[in-house]
Amino acid sequence: MPLTKEQIEHISGELIEAERTSKSIVALTERFSDASYEDAYAIQLKTFDTRVKAGAVIVGKKIGLTSKAMQDQFKIREPDYGMITNHMVIREGQPIPVSSLILPRLEPEIAFLLKEDLKGPGINVANVIEATEGVLPAFEVIDSRYKDWKITVKDSISDNASAASMILGGKLTPIKDIDLRLIGLVMEKNGAVVSTAAGAAVLRNPAESVAWLANKLTEYGITLKKGEFVMSGSLVSAVPVEAGASLRATFDRLGSVSVRFE
């Protein structure tokens, strides 16, 4: 049985309050075991309707759970997506207070800056490359508002794909002559290498991930818009972070991005 409008609004309100107070709540599927994907996306859309009415501006989209490492970590077998507002983008070099989060983790990603709209169905890798101004090295801070990261993909969707903050590196690289599948990554935490990977870890090609999103959003009447950026998904398992941690992700040919927590 679908959730009622009142239930959707209530859970959305709980998630907004959980983020504001940094206090987790009981997962959607623990309370409503028969909640559908449509219910989960309805909660996410309600949350962003509330945020936009309060003055937030949607500046991008994110794709989550795209790599085998992340799918294994959360025992999930399909990607999800969320939205990014201007308030979620943090300047590189600006320390992030851990006290403003619940159980944060960090993911290194390749971000796509769009120069054209992308609207499915039928979007493929070639379309994504043609519509992309360039790519940037990026970090995403993920942080589930549901208690102890005990989530299913439906929980993740309703909670905006566990998105918290985005940090974009300062170098924009055109991709016309770059095979994104072969872009290498080295991720360091406090000066020590914690993971390595290549772009092919993200649905075999990060551009494939963006194509998946453009086609998926068609089901909800949403278009990837010119000027937005798209976080294509983590290349590796998310890394837990704590106060005092400094992390850097270096991508072959794309440059690096760094972040510090306090």
User: What pLDDT, in 10s, does the model give residues 163-209?
Assistant: 999 999 999 999 988 999 999 999 999 999 999 999 999 989 999 99
Q: What percent of the chain has pLDDT over 90?
A: 87
Binning pLDDT at 50, 70 and 90, where does residue 77 land?
low
φ, ψ for residue 74, nearest 5 deg: -110, 10
Cα–Cα dist 69/87, whole Å? 28
Contact in structure between 183 and 251 (CB atoms under 8 Å): yes
For 22-119, where are the alpha helices, taking DSSP H only?
28-31, 37-53, 68-74
Binning pLDDT at 50, 70 and 90, where does residue 220 land?
confident
Residues 162-197, buried b or exposed e (16+ Cβ, 10 A)?
A: bbbbbbbbeeebebeebebbebebbbbbeeeeebeb
Q: Domain 5-260 belongs to what topology?
A: Fumarylacetoacetate hydrolase; domain 2 (3.90.850)
* pLDDT at residue number 245: 98
Interval 141-171: pLDDT, tens: 999 999 999 988 899 999 999 999 999 999 9
Structure tokens belonging to residue 131: 């519509």
Look-up: residue for tokens 């962003």?
Answer: 48
Sign of the C-alpha dihedral computed for residues 176, 182, 188 and 194 taken in this order = positive
The per-residue pLDDT of the chain, averaged, comes to 94
* pLDDT at residue number 80: 84
* pLDDT at residue number 153: 87
Fill in the DSSP letter of residue 39: H
Cα–Cα dist 15/61, whole Å? 19
* pLDDT at residue number 74: 67
In Å, what is the CA distance from 79 to each residue of 7, 65, 171, 248? 25, 5, 27, 25
pLDDT above 70 for 126? yes
Interval 54-73: pLDDT, tens: 999 999 999 987 777 667 76
